[in-house]
Amino acid sequence: MMTFFQNFGGQLLVKIWQHLYISGISLGLGVLVAVPLGVLLTRFKKIAGGIIGLASVLQTVPAMALLALMIPIFGIGSKPAIVALFIYSLLPILRNTYLGLEGLDPSVLDAAKGMGMSQLESIRLVELPLAAPVIMAGIRLSGTYVIAWATLASYIGAGGLGDFIFNGLNLYRPDLILGGSIPVILLALIVDFLLGRVEAWVTPTVLTKDGGDQA
């Protein structure tokens, strides 16, 4: 491995940055779209099944096929990869947002309404904080998926750690395969850990009868 770092250390840093760039933007866009859409669907339940079903269908499309479909529209490079990974990130976040909000105790929502809160205030101050653990579970799942699927982006010239993996497969170079695979695994674990910390931070705590805090 020392030889690998000596020969490819500089490239490794660039590939890690490309991988994080593609994955981060894709996941960020997924959160920005899927969370508000999940909230909206709880207000329009008649169309919720169809929208979530459509997201489920999009996620069943093979990753390589979806990346290939993006090329005629966006060309090659990071843009089609980001769009494809964004589509893949939607379902877990959308589904968990909807289920998290739907699973709230109706008495809590009635209490918020009784306090004179508007719908937006109820969503912002009551519903989203209470549903945060379920929503964050979907974001963590999407984050892991996106990090893994971003390896395929190298096929369309988007770079990332997939370059090492597929070059290693083509050249029968185990060092390149490991040099790309191990960082992808580590990135997925680190992202899951960091999102787990965010989940703990946004999860509301309540005061128990003995005076202790409970999530």
C-alpha to C-alpha distance for 28 and 88, rounded to whole angstroms = 12
* CB proximity list for 198: less than 8 A, separation 6 or greater: 136
Residue 138 domain flag: yes
Residue 213 domain flag: no
Q: What is the CA radius of gyration of the chain?
A: 21
In tens, the pLDDT along 110-134 reads: 887 888 888 888 888 888 888 999 9
Residue 212 domain flag: no
Section 197-209 average pLDDT? 70
The CA-based dihedral angle spanning residues 119, 120, 121, 127, taken in that order and rounded to the nearest 10 degrees: 80
- Give the C-alpha distances (Å, rounded to integers) separating 66 from 62, 85, 141, 142, 165: 6, 9, 20, 17, 20
Full-model pTM: 0.86
Q: What residues make up the domain containing 30?
A: 2-205
The CA-based dihedral angle spanning residues 146, 147, 151, 152, taken in that order and rounded to the nearest 10 degrees: 0
Banded model confidence at residue 23, pLDDT cuts 50, 70, 90 = very high
Q: What is the mean pLDDT of the chain?
A: 86
Q: Quote the pLDDT of residue 192.
A: 92
In tens, the pLDDT along 146-192 reads: 999 899 888 888 888 999 999 898 888 888 889 889 999 999 999 99
In tens, the pLDDT along 58-87 reads: 878 888 888 888 888 888 888 999 999 998
Tokens of 171: 């050249």
- Give the C-alpha distances (Å, rounded to integers) separating 194 from 24, 125, 183, 199: 13, 24, 16, 9
Half-sphere exposure of 62 (CA within 13 A, CB side): 3
Residue 115 domain flag: yes
Residue 211 domain flag: no
Q: Quote the pLDDT of residue 64.
A: 81
Query: Quick check: helix, strand or coil at residue 146?
Result: helix
Report the number of distinct structural domains present in the chain. Answer: 1
- CA 64 to chain CA centroid, nearest Å: 18
pLDDT at 2 over 80: no
Instruction: Write the CATH number for 140.
Output: 1.10.3720.10
